[in-house]
Amino acid sequence: MATYAEVKKEYERRHQLWQQSTHQVLRRLRVLNALDYRQMGAGDLLEHATDEERGNLAVILGVNAGAGPSAIVDALRKAGSHGLMSAIRGGYVPYEEVVKDVARKLGAKAVGENMPAADLEKHAVGAALEQMLAKASPDERMAMLAELAKGQTTSSTGLMTATGGLVLANLSGFGLYMAASSSLAAITGAVGLTLPFAVYTGLSSVLGVVTGPVGWAALALAAIFKFGGAEYKKTVPGVIAIASCRARLIASREDEMDKLHKQQAVLEQAGQRLSVLASFVARMGQAEQPYSVPRSSVPW
């Protein structure tokens, strides 16, 4: 048998836990809703990067290991600045100009003048990925796309059958992060950089075959010698590194929000069950004399 006091106490305990969990979920959702990584400038984005991501960028750009986001972005802007443009602007070119330049040099198509940095970064990653896929055999290409498909949050069918620039259009979530970080590993290896912190290695077995010294070294050297205004050994991997960081943050945010929304749905169902228990407790409390009921009759 269960007494009124016992049932009421259990209801209050469950209700308190439910409220705490609900408030935690709502608070975290508010925080994540305010974090629009797609619209963030490079400096603000790197405030949310890991120490390892900033450390890799410091090595790429030749700045102090403990350099902060502003110093890292300034170093990248400096590396991507042309003398004339710097004189006209009275300083280094904006980060968006550097990304646009890198995307175009990697062969990206449809790069717009007023395109946001996040879109420019994605085009740069797509162009880099196409360079890798173009040098791959059919079997190697399928192996790479199969690995990328594992990171997709949506169906990977379109990715596996995509050709040309359509691979980029079909990349999302952790698939884009994998493409960016794998491209970064290939590029830094081609230009002779050894990063202190490992980037994504999920494609390492394929990268060793597809992105050997011939492919990426040719790409890097062509850019460096044909376009002497920018330090492409810094700007190309620097932009791809930031693109990788942005893709990771976006994918992680989306993944966490999806889990929180599922948790929210579970809590809503729990709240409905609690409301039934609350009504039961209220009816018991309205009795003139406290009484007990069979435990099996309580809507626990």
DSSP 227: -
Judge whether residue 51 has pLDDT over 60: yes
pTM for the full model?
Answer: 0.83
pLDDT band at 134 (very low <50, low <70, confident <90, very high): confident
Question: Residues 201-247: pLDDT tens digits?
Answer: 655 555 554 544 444 444 544 444 444 455 888 999 999 999 999 99
Question: Residues 26-42: pLDDT tens digits?
Answer: 999 999 999 999 999 99
First-to-last CA distance in the chain? 13
| Across 250-263, average pLDDT | 96
171: tokens are: 């990349």
137: tokens are: 């055999």
Judge whether residue 289 has pLDDT over 90: no
| Across 176-191, average pLDDT | 83
147: tokens are: 């690995």
pLDDT at 214 (0 to 100): 43
Stated as kind and residue range, the H or E segment containing 191 is none
pLDDT at 221 (0 to 100): 46
Lowest mean pLDDT among 161-175, 178-192, 259-273: 161-175
Ramachandran area for residue 62 (φ above 0: left; ψ -120 to 50: alpha; else beta): left
Lowest mean pLDDT among 33-37, 92-96, 159-163: 159-163
